[in-house]
Amino acid sequence: MATVNGVRSVEAGRLLAKIESKQAVLGVVGLGYVGLPLVAEFARAGYRVIGFDISAAVVESLNAGRSHIQDVPSEAVARAVNEGLFHSTTDMGRLGECDAISICVPTPLSKTRDPDVSYVVAATQSVTDAVRPGQLIVLESTTYPGTTRELMLPMLEAKGGHVGEDFFLCFSPERVDPGNERWHTRNTPKVIGGVTPTCLEVALALYNRVMDTMVPVSSTEAAEMTKLLENTFRSINIALVNEMAQASDRLGVDVWEVINAAATKPFGFMKFLPGPGIGGHCIPLDPHYLAWKMRTLNYKTRMIELAGEINKEMPYFVADKVQDALNAQRKALHGSRVLVLGVAYKKDIDDVRESPALDVIRLLEEKGGLVDYHDPFVARVREDGELRGRDSVPLTDETLRASDCVVIVTDHSSVDYRRVVELAPLVVDTRNATHGIFASNVIALTDSYQRLHTPTRA
Ligand code: SAJ
């Protein structure tokens, strides 16, 4: 049972009892692609959940039983609401009603590409303002090692309570992979670390009743670092294949063929795919949280910086490829009609955040291209930036025929690429979406300039 220095923490015992009897009220701060799936799992496990969000529109929509997150069906939201297990509010003062609070707020980068933990600070301040004895607080947002202990703990202790006795503080990284049909919040093993052993014990008592597999580690720093290793691993390996793509382009080698051949190695290799760059709210950003922290400790994480540079290069590589492909047809990019196919940051989702497609569009327009986009998941670009408000054009035969070049940036499964190749005069394929469709008007990501003049592809 929960003890502190051998003495049983009264508050821990009370909280454990509430968790066991399912009387515990759970709070989730931030009802986005991480928070809402967590709400759904807490409610499924039979706990009453209060959702907190700064957006009144999100709160209103959820209370009406509608989901704004692709991976959470509205039926699940409506069921939890109708069963009295889920209610959302913008009133952070109600955090005092919660016995356990999971914080799932964004951790973006600032304009100077430094960590922006302002959302974590604001959420922690709201929790602190309403803090009462016996609460468990778990940060789920990806952040630099030390955030939980160095930033959140002093704020929470400012009200006089002691961690591990009066309140309990943990870090448990989210591992949501939007659009993943197989791995979701409940069945993905969940890493967790506590500021004290009692913090961890209390959190495990709750999460073990909700998640299939919990993975306790020795500290909040270990849990924070685990997440950063996971995403830095992806960023660096994606950068590796992106560099191999640029090398293959100069060698006249098909990088997809090389990667598929390498992937036949049954051990010691993991397949990553080159593309137009990396997007999303995680992979482009999270590694720079670690780089920033290490700079404060006088250590330069060279691999992270280099991977970021290579991945950021890819939209330029794609824009040049489009220009070369048009040039091979004696067309200038300037004044040419270019259709960008797919703007979401990866296939079969509707999220455009940090999408490399936005860079590709910007670069093509800077060179005088007349650019439209079509994306079956993104009717309008709502993300901030110069493309905000742009609408998807219908993928009609006329649109395809009238384009001077179609560039496949995101390879959504629902698009008929054979039709695109048949109707468009020129296709630049950055995702190997047209593999198996042999046509002279298709230029692959690593079709070198020499090959662009080959009348028909081998
Ligand atoms: N990408 C490539 N080549 C690849 C894989 C991905 O170019 O081989 C690109 C994608 O197109 C996308 C970006 O990288 O633009 C990120 O893709 P991602 O597959 O890492 O997907 P995310 O960022 O939505 O989710 C990832 C999770 N995905 C996987 O593990 C497959 C996981 O790393 C984290 O749970 C999540 O980030 C997070 O929230 O941290």
In sequence order, what DSSP letters do the residues of 267-333 get, joined into one string?
Answer: SS-------S---SSSTTTHHHHHHHHHHHTT---HHHHHHHHHHHHHHHHHHHHHHHHHHHTT--S
In sequence order, what DSSP letters do the residues of 218-253 get, joined into one string?
Answer: S-HHHHHHHHHHHHHHHHHHHHHHHHHHHHHHHHT-
With a pLDDT cut of 70, the percent of the chain lying above it is 96
Distances in Å between the Cα of 323 and the Cα atoms of 167, 311, 336, 406 are: 59, 20, 10, 12
Q: Which of 168, 174, 162 is nearest to 202 (CA)?
A: 168
Confidence band of 2 (pLDDT split at 50, 70, 90):
low
Distance 369 CA to ligand 1 centre (A): 29
Ligand 1 atom closest to the Cα of residue 275 is 7
Rounded CA-CA distance 245/236 in Å is: 14
Report which residue type is found at 72.
V
In sequence order, what DSSP letters do the residues of 50-75 get, joined into one string?
Answer: EEE-S-HHHHHHHHTT---STTS-HH
For the Cβ of 360 lying below 6 angstroms from any atom of ligand 1, the answer is no
Q: What is the pLDDT of residue 29?
A: 98
Report which residue type is found at 307.
A
Average pLDDT, integer, range 279-289: 91
Average pLDDT, integer, range 399-411: 98
Q: What is the pLDDT of residue 446?
A: 84
Q: What is the pLDDT of residue 9?
A: 87
User: Closest Cα to atom 30, ligand 1: which residue?
Assistant: 177
Is residue 131 within 8 Å of 159, Cβ to Cβ? yes
In sequence order, what DSSP letters do the residues of 409-424 get, joined into one string?
Answer: -S--TTS-HHHHHHH-
Instruction: Quick: pLDDT tens for 292-313.
Output: 999 999 999 999 999 999 999 9
For the Cβ of 320 lying below 6 angstroms from any atom of ligand 1, the answer is no
Residue 447, pLDDT above cutoff 80: no
Residue showing tokens 């003062």: 93
With a pLDDT cut of 90, the percent of the chain lying above it is 89
Ligand 1 atom closest to the Cα of residue 242 is 7
Confidence band of 449 (pLDDT split at 50, 70, 90):
low
In sequence order, what DSSP letters do the residues of 128-171 get, joined into one string?
Answer: HHH--TTEEEEE-S---TTIIIIIIHHHHHTTS--BTTTEEEEE
For the Cβ of 18 lying below 6 angstroms from any atom of ligand 1, the answer is no
- The catalytically annotated residue of 104, 199, 282, 405 is 282
pTM of the complete model = 0.92
More confident residue, 403 or 382: 403
Distance 279 CA to ligand 1 centre (A): 8
Q: What is the pLDDT of residue 148?
A: 98
For the Cβ of 427 lying below 6 angstroms from any atom of ligand 1, the answer is no
Q: Which of 325, 17, 444, 8 is nearest to 197 (CA)?
A: 8
3-218: which CATH topology? Answer: Rossmann fold (3.40.50)
For the Cβ of 245 lying below 6 angstroms from any atom of ligand 1, the answer is no
Q: Which of 3, 42, 36, 39 is nearest to 19 (CA)?
A: 42
Ligand 1 atom closest to the Cα of residue 277 is 7
Residue 458, pLDDT above cutoff 50: no
Instruction: Quick: pLDDT tens for 316-373.
Output: 999 999 999 999 999 999 999 999 999 999 999 999 999 999 999 999 999 999 999 9
Q: Residue 108: which H helix or E strand, with range?
A: none
Cα end-to-end distance, the chain, whole Å: 70
Q: Is 27 helix (H, G, I), strand (E, B) or coil?
A: strand
Ligand 1 atom closest to the Cα of residue 235 is 14
Q: What is the pLDDT of residue 83?
A: 97
Mutate to test the pocket of ligand 1, among 177, 246, 256 (most ligand atoms within 8 A of CB): 177
How many beta carbons lie within 10 A of that of residue 353, not counting itself?
19
Is residue 381 within 8 Å of 388, Cβ to Cβ? yes
Confidence band of 3 (pLDDT split at 50, 70, 90):
low
Instruction: Write down the mean pLDDT value for the chain.
Output: 94
CATH code at 286-452: 3.40.50.720
In this structure, the strands spanning 7-8 and 3-4 are antiparallel
Q: What is the pLDDT of residue 7?
A: 55
Q: What is the pLDDT of residue 454?
A: 53
Rounded CA-CA distance 339/326 in Å is: 13
For the Cβ of 194 lying below 6 angstroms from any atom of ligand 1, the answer is no
Distance 363 CA to ligand 1 centre (A): 23
Average pLDDT, integer, range 105-111: 91
Domains in the chain: boundaries: 3-218, 286-452
Q: What is the dihedral of CA 228, 42, 77, 139, to 10 degrees?
A: -30
Distance 242 CA to ligand 1 centre (A): 14
Residue 278, pLDDT above cutoff 60: yes
Confidence band of 287 (pLDDT split at 50, 70, 90):
very high
Q: What is the pLDDT of residue 264?
A: 98
Residue 456, pLDDT above cutoff 80: no
Rounded CA-CA distance 72/186 in Å is: 12
Residue 178, pLDDT above cutoff 60: yes
Average pLDDT, integer, range 257-281: 97
More confident residue, 237 or 454: 237
Decide if 3-218 and 286-452 have a common fold: yes
Distance 355 CA to ligand 1 centre (A): 11
Ligand 1 atom closest to the Cα of residue 271 is 8
Average pLDDT, integer, range 63-67: 98
Spacing of C-alpha 165 from chain mean position: 35
For the Cβ of 318 lying below 6 angstroms from any atom of ligand 1, the answer is no
Q: What is the pLDDT of residue 386?
A: 75
Is 170 marked active-site? no
